[in-house]
Chains A and B, each alone.
Chain A
């Protein structure tokens, strides 16, 4: 050995380089570790060609499981018993979506900082403070009381973990390698977290705080006028005229003082909620004489895809459809006898209660005349590369006090609508056994099975649509609806007044429902569940009626309907909102105030037939124009940094434009003069065209809606390169085809029941969660083109060799 300065220097340099190339620095992965072909990301480069047959020995199975993969690599799982079935489903979902399972659970549980460091701290704190863990633990404990569901969840968990135990570091999904961490074992509570995440996505919107502020500024008369409890135009899910064949339980009386306000939060304009469509048609109106059913849930689209398709077969069950990775069974799908689907119900299941503490120690709070004890829960948040953080959250019998004075972050958008010093009462905290509903629907044979299945469901409330081979169709806005006085929870509530509490629930069998209505079809698109004859108050505000009305109009006109008619309706870009107001807007434009460019734009939109087609220029103009107009009408009055408020709905704005030429709201109170309806319509049109011109240049193909909208499906963690390219598509939130920039139909399905069930569907993604797989985004092209794939549902015996490209057999390891 020779030791001198130069050999030492090189030894030292080599060690430093090895160390640096093995360390995660900033946003980059450990370079050599990541780029190494033997253990790094190259291992995730999947060949296009699949192996055709393989056998795996797995511990934990009782019998043999065959998994057949079709041309879209959708698994058809065939097991000898139910436990093996859910075990295999867990196994295969983990194989395709392991990182998604990990990431989404961490998100819901407030554990992202553990792997991505300090930038996730605010988000983690928020999810902890909202009581996501509280809800998930309540759910897990409740499910475990049900022996059957407990077994299902345990088998599913064992399957995921059996897959994880087969992995070596080189097999970890690429995102683990990029972020440099390891998968951890699955726990049953993780499934609860994922279902709670659906409530957080679909049933956590709240305008109570903003509306309370508006109430204190404008007084009850104006609020009643601008924020009515039932809209100007509506086409409710349960058709008007349906009779309620139950005896309602008594509804609580409205207490005398019902509104509270507070101050000190910034305004964050709320985007229209995520929506969905579903409809089913009776055999009397279809070409086959059997029902047809369609469903397309609209969500924030991501890759890996939100949904996972599979067929599950074992004695007593043969079902096809989609599930959320992490949740056993099928959530939307069909079997040989029935088909079902869901859309969101925007019922009010989240309320805020003002807490009166006894003293500064915040150990006790007032309820009626009693002081109750506050429970203090310590949340421990581990942060990568930093010291662990602890947060103490105060719990009342209502739920967590999300923020007390001094705890609310100033620059975190998600918390803007949360009032300080209020306890959160939220349906997601309720113990529930929602997976039982799906367990039963997966095995349902007829309408009474459907009814029985729905009784278990709590949240997030959904419009469960149904069709059966026996030629029944039905729809039920379903979930746990708190029993409320009319308008309860429209504003902030008083936690010290027992009259303000939820008074139990609307009996589950009295949820609005309709079976085989006269018109021959049922449908929903997130609008009001029922008209004002329904004896219970569910909410004052739902998503606009436009999509629902268009669906109903088209379905009413269809006879001898086919799958292709339904497909065309799913792709329908017609906007009833545009139909409602385009003409009145154009009529009010003062043409003499326009320049040449603006006149040209006006001429284009004049001829528009209300379709948000990709190649049209008018939707680009209309979209920004009507939004600017709504802001222009309301924001001068309703924008107040100290008292954030919500502006009146689209429906109320339409009513104003159609029925009122002289309203004071048209005037901009921030200018000395008095503006008229014509002034504001003209100004906002000019502003729209000017801003379009600045962004997109002269009127040309760059103004086309497909280019302006810029639809794309990003990666779940927004990793660049792992999302799709920009997709040229039509659609709008007010059209049946609700594709916007990154939200849209996250799964499209059409089922034709009959002696042999036929089904079609796809989602904007692929079965694999691996960006290095050819099955990561292989359905996107057909999805963007408005096409559907034929779904392969095999009933008995061996599957068709022509459809099956790969078979994996799982055999019990002794």
Chain B
């Protein structure tokens, strides 16, 4: 349930607000809906991770990962056609960690 709320509300909010809106959203959603610390963290983590992963794939697949492979080199990866795997994983992971942490905080603030 929490994971669905997080995916849907983050998706809507991110369409017109900066990325950090995922923090308050996960915190508030978890504050009202979470059942345990563990459930809160993993719902936040997986919710944002999945949302970002799917959004990235929708952009990077039609681009044949052309840009992701180049940006990998900006982050000091060697020139390779597989940089996109790292870029997609790291991006989604960062989103996931922020989501998980915020959601955990929401649970901890709960009575």
Using a CB–CB cutoff of 8 Å, the interface residues on chain A facing chain B are 1-3, 6-7, 10-11, 13-14, 17-18, 21-22, 28, 31-33, 35-49, 169, 174, 178, 719-722, 725, 771-772, 774
Contact = CB atoms under 8 A, between A and B. Distances in A.
Contacts of B55: 37-38, 42
A49 B62 contact: yes
B65 to A, nearest CB: 8
Nearest to A169: B18
A22 B60 CA distance: 23
A2 B62 contact: no
Interface in B83-97: 87, 90-91, 94-95, 97
A47 B20 contact: no
Contacts of B65: 45
B23 interface: yes
B101 A10 contact: yes
A17 B67 contact: no
B1 interface: no
Contacts of B19: 22, 32-33, 36, 38-40
A37 B75 CA distance: 17
B78 to A, nearest CB: 10
Contacts of A719: 74
A36 B111 CA distance: 32
A44 B27 contact: no
Contact of A32 (B20, B67, B68, B70): B20
Interface string B66-83: 111111111110010000
A552 B13 CA distance: 67
A204 to B, nearest CB: 32
Given A1-B111, A10-B108, A32-B94, A37 B52 contact: yes
B94 A44 contact: no
A14 B67 contact: no
B98 interface: yes
A17 B52 CA distance: 18
Contacts of A6: 108
Given A38-B55, A719-B74, 12 more contacts: A3-B109, A7-B108, A11-B109, A17-B98, A22-B18, A35-B91, A37-B56, A37-B59, A43-B59, A47-B63, A721-B70, A721-B74
B111 A45 contact: no
A655 B100 CA distance: 76
Contacts of A47: 62-63
A802 B75 CA distance: 41
Contact of B105 (A11, A42, A45): A11
Nearest to A719: B74
Nearest to B87: A35
B104 interface: yes
B44 to A, nearest CB: 10
B59 A42 contact: yes
Contacts of B90: 35
Given A1-B111, A37-B56, A721 B94 contact: no
Interface of B: 14-15, 18-20, 23, 27, 52, 55-56, 59-60, 62-76, 79, 87, 90-91, 94-95, 97-98, 101-102, 104-105, 108-111
B59 to A, nearest CB: 5
A215 B60 CA distance: 63
Given A37-B52, A39-B18, A45-B63, A13 B101 contact: yes
Contacts of A774: 66
Given A36-B95, A37-B59, A45 B66 contact: yes
A723 to B, nearest CB: 9
Contacts of A721: 69-74, 79
Contacts of A3: 109
A7 B59 contact: no
A39 B56 CA distance: 11
A395 B35 CA distance: 74
Contacts of B105: 7, 10-11, 13-14
Contacts of B111: 1-2
B91 A1 contact: no
B67 A41 contact: yes
Contacts of A7: 105, 108-109
Contacts of A44: 67
Nearest to A725: B79
Nearest to A41: B71
B27 to A, nearest CB: 7
Greatest chain A CB density within 10 A among B74, B79, B90 is at B74
Greatest chain B CB density within 10 A among A21, A33, A37, A774 is at A37
Given A7-B109, A45-B67, A14 B94 contact: no
B101 A45 contact: no
Contacts of B27: 14
A35 B94 contact: yes
A21 B56 contact: no
27 contacts: A3-B109, A10-B108, A13-B101, A13-B105, A14-B23, A14-B27, A17-B97, A18-B20, A22-B18, A22-B20, A32-B98, A33-B18, A33-B19, A35-B87, A35-B90, A36-B52, A36-B91, A38-B19, A39-B18, A42-B60, A42-B68, A45-B59, A49-B62, A720-B73, A721-B69, A721-B73, A722-B73
A33 B17 CA distance: 11
A178 B104 CA distance: 31
A719 B76 CA distance: 11
A580 to B, nearest CB: 40
Nearest to A771: B70
B98 A18 contact: yes
Contacts of A178: 74
A720 B74 contact: yes
A37 B91 contact: yes
Contacts of B70: 721-722, 771-772
Contacts of A18: 20, 23, 98
Nearest to A33: B19
Greatest chain A CB density within 10 A among B69, B70, B79 is at B70
Contacts of B59: 37, 42-43, 45
Contacts of B14: 36, 38-39
A19 to B, nearest CB: 9
Contacts of A36: 14, 19, 52, 91, 95
A43 B63 CA distance: 10
A37 B104 CA distance: 23
A45 B60 CA distance: 6
Greatest chain A CB density within 10 A among B19, B73, B104 is at B19
A97 to B, nearest CB: 17
Nearest to A36: B19
Contacts of A37: 52, 55-56, 59, 91
Given A14-B23, A14-B27, A36-B19, A48 B91 contact: no
A402 B107 CA distance: 64
Contacts of A17: 97-98, 101
Contacts of A10: 101, 104-105, 108
